[in-house]
Amino acid sequence: MDLNHYRFRGGWRLAAPPAAVYAALQDVPGYPLWWPEIRSVRQFGPDDGEVVVRALLPYRLVIALAAVRRDPSAGVLEVAMRGDLVGWSRWTVEADGAGTRVRFEEDARPGRPLLRRLALPLHPVFRANHAVMMYRGRRGLAAHLAAPHDRAVTSGDSPNRPAG
Q: What is the pLDDT of residue 121?
A: 84
4: helix, strand or coil? coil
Domain spanning 7-146: which superfamily? Answer: START domain (3.30.530.20)
Q: What is the pLDDT of residue 71?
A: 97
Residue 31's alpha-carbon distances to 25, 104, 128, in angstroms, are 8, 15, 21
Q: C-alpha angle 29/35/41, rounded to 5°?
A: 30
140: helix, strand or coil? helix
How many Cβ atoms are within 10 Å of 99's Cβ, its own excluded? 17
Q: Give dist(CA 125, CA 113) in Å, integer.
A: 17
pTM, entire model: 0.86
Q: What is the pLDDT of residue 1?
A: 62
Q: What is the pLDDT of residue 148?
A: 81
Q: What is the pLDDT of residue 119?
A: 76
* 10-residue mean pLDDT series, the chain (164 residues): 86 97 97 97 96 92 97 97 97 97 96 84 88 97 87 39 36
